[in-house]
Amino acid sequence: MPTTGVSDETRRYRRRHPLFLYILAAIGVFAIFIIFGTLAFLGARVAVKNLPALTQNITQNLASAIRVLAFWEKIGTSEPEAASTPPEKTAKKTEEPPAPRIAPKAPLVQLPGPKKITAYPGGIIRAGGHPDLAISIIQTGLMDKNGNFIATSSVPKGFEAAILFEVRNIGDASSGGWKFFANLPVTEGNFTSEPEASLAPGDRIRFTIGFGELSNAGANSAAITVDPEDLISDSNRANNAASTTLLRAY
């Protein structure tokens, strides 16, 4: 019985060329696979390229939604804030002035800087000459809290008394090493210095010696002697000692 719609030529062609038809079908399937694969690849590439922007948009939308929900939740649960009360006033503490520095009882030689030796003009060393150390009191005073000498005749309570004095060599030979002794108006006020540097003729040196509270109310006497043990061949011993008076003003 003949098949409807298929000619005899077609049936004969199919019987003669079955392999050709199979190849044609395979080519069609492969072409379809290539087309769909290409479309899938292009779609994936576009999606990967736009993925950061898409992720950012999604994140922003989620954040906006969360803020809106938090806002409405705050409106529904918030209560009126209580009126703030001003802080209590506290009394300002009055700082007390620092207590005055109490000077030590033992005498103390205070030299604010290096010893300065100034030569008088005309000093001459003579063969066979002798040194002549002479001491003089320059000024009485006190030492302030920074260790500075302040000239004054009376010393208030809480300050160290002080004496500024000078030793000169008015002879015509170098003195060699020498010392001085101070009898100060304080408890245990006897003080002997360390050996001092030699003074050439015309040289002089100044000292500031500070000590503690004066022993007596009113006037207090102090005396300083150069070369108290007569160890140098001083030509004139009459000018080796000097004395002064300090007034305790309390």
Q: What is the pLDDT of residues 117-169, one digit of tens each?
A: 444 555 667 778 899 999 999 999 999 888 899 999 999 988 899 999 999 99
3-state secondary structure of 179: coil
Q: Using 50, 70 and 90 to split pLDDT, how confident is the model at 206?
A: very high
Residue type, 123: G
pLDDT for the residue numbered 180: 96
Domain boundary at 35, 54, 77, which? 77
Q: Which residues, other chains included, contact 14 with Cβ-Cβ below 8 Å and sequence gap of 6+?
A: 21
Q: What is the DSSP letter of 90?
A: -
The tally of domains found in the chain comes to 2
Domain that holds residue 67: 8-77
Shared-domain flag, residues 152 and 231 = yes
pLDDT for the residue numbered 147: 86
Q: Is residue 138 part of a domain?
A: yes
Q: Is residue 82 part of a domain?
A: no
Q: Please answer whether residues 185 and 215 qualify as being in contact, where contact means their C-beta atoms are separated by less than 8 angstroms.
A: yes
pLDDT for the residue numbered 105: 36
Give the CATH number, domain containing residue 113: 2.60.40.10
Shared-domain flag, residues 117 and 175 = yes
